[in-house]
Amino acid sequence: MREAKSWALNAEAEAVARQANHKLYRPKNFAEVLEKYLRDVTPLKRNTTFEDAVIPKLMECDWAKTPMNKLSSHQLVVYRDQRLRKVKASSLHRQFCIIKHAARIAVDEWDWDIPNNIFQRIKIKKNPPNPVTRLNDEVVSSLLIAAEECRQGEMRSLIILGVETCMRRGEMLSLQWSQVDLKKGLVRLCQTKNGHFRDIPLTPLAALVFEGLRRSSDGRETVFSMTPNAVRLSFQRIRRRAKADGVCFHHLRHEGVSRLFEAGFSPPEVASISGHKSMSQLMRYSHARLDKVCAKMSSMSLIGTIQP
């Protein structure tokens, strides 16, 4: 124990000495940090769309243009509180994740002299997650009927697979035929949101949909030809025709996960299909539909056959 403490103290002393001997670069403001982050770090990420749009706006904020030696946590708190009047806490949390990561990278990897602690101290209270939106069979059928009128013939297949495979929109649109094994009844996802590959067993209906898509693929490498924006716009039109207000494409995945739980799949089994890494996040979908619970409870007694 003494040796460990001694080693830690020596290591800390050496770090302080190195910092004293090495004059760190101090950027003129945090906008300079964000500019370098956008140029050097963002391109290394799989999906850069969000940061490409958000970081330039952050660079224009008053606090980001404040000289680094005058920047205070109070300015960040004022900015946070002002933004919370206009955007959801979850949206602002994503922006502050970029800010905090940029600050850490600047200190840990670039050896820049910035007050990292004032960024890390900022807290954003998250709102409790909304209840999972459930889609009953009537809503799903309405969406499928409306999709048949859509000029984009792939939309009906995307809606079915959204429920049957629990895949995200981006996962389906990036899917290539080399990842689909209809003999084994499996789809292997290589590019996922959390960076981990996963194998998805196909239901009989999902397999039939893929067979139909393959027949009409004309030798194309990708399973789908639509872009994310085309899917978004098409689904908006389908939703209007189906009179399914409030339903978004991602709810198809939610419904698929919820139905797996209702079918008796265990949490690890559901996670292997959906790709959730957080059990707390996954268990949001474990609540069965109230009407099914009521039907079960109405025909049983937890104590036994006694007179009330």
pLDDT the model gives residue 280 = 78
Q: pLDDT (tens digit, 9 = 90+) per residue, 45-55? A: 878 889 999 99
- Who wins on pLDDT, 305 or 244? 244
CA geometry: angle at 76 spanning 74 and 79, to 5°?
A: 110
d(CA 133, CA 285): 9
Strand partners, 112: 25
d(CA 129, CA 132): 8
* pLDDT (mean) for 86-111: 94
Contact yes or no for 169/249 (Cβ under 8 A): yes
- Who wins on pLDDT, 127 or 97? 97
Contact yes or no for 38/105 (Cβ under 8 A): no
Q: pLDDT (tens digit, 9 = 90+) per residue, 245-296? A: 889 999 999 999 999 988 888 888 989 899 888 887 787 777 656 666 677 7
Q: What 8-state DSSP symbol labels residue 184? A: T
pLDDT the model gives residue 282 = 81
* pLDDT (mean) for 138-165: 92
Residues of the chain with CATH 1.10.443.10: 137-288
pLDDT the model gives residue 67 = 95
Query: If you average pLDDT over each of 97-106, 217-226, 279-288, which comes out highest?
Result: 97-106
Q: pLDDT (tens digit, 9 = 90+) per residue, 232-245? A: 999 999 999 999 98
pLDDT the model gives residue 100 = 96
pLDDT the model gives residue 49 = 87
Q: 190: pLDDT confidence band, cut at 50, 70 and 90? A: confident
Reported pTM:
0.67
CATH 1.10.443.10 applies to domain 137-288: yes
d(CA 102, CA 174): 29
**Block residue for tokens 């895949």:** 167
Least confident of 91-105, 152-166, 184-198, 249-263: 184-198
| Sheet (strand 180-181) strand order | 180-181, 186-189, 198-201
User: b/e string for 73-97 if b means 16 or more Cβ within 10 A?
Assistant: eebbeebbeebeeeeeeeebeebbe
Strand partners, 29: 67
pLDDT the model gives residue 101 = 97
* pLDDT (mean) for 26-43: 96
pLDDT the model gives residue 51 = 94
pLDDT the model gives residue 13 = 52
Centroid of chain to Cα 102: 20
Residue 173, pLDDT > 60, answer yes
pLDDT above 70 covers what percent of the chain?
84
- Who wins on pLDDT, 286 or 98? 98
pLDDT the model gives residue 60 = 96
Contact yes or no for 185/204 (Cβ under 8 A): no
Secondary structure (3-state) at 127: coil
Residue-averaged pLDDT of the chain: 86
Residue 9, pLDDT > 60, answer no
* pLDDT (mean) for 178-182: 94
Least confident of 145-149, 289-293, 303-307: 303-307
Which tokens belong to 94? Answer: 């994503």
- Taking each helix axis from N to C terminus, what angle separates 30-40 and 89-108, rounded to the nearest 10 degrees? 90
Residue 39, pLDDT > 90, answer yes
pLDDT the model gives residue 12 = 55
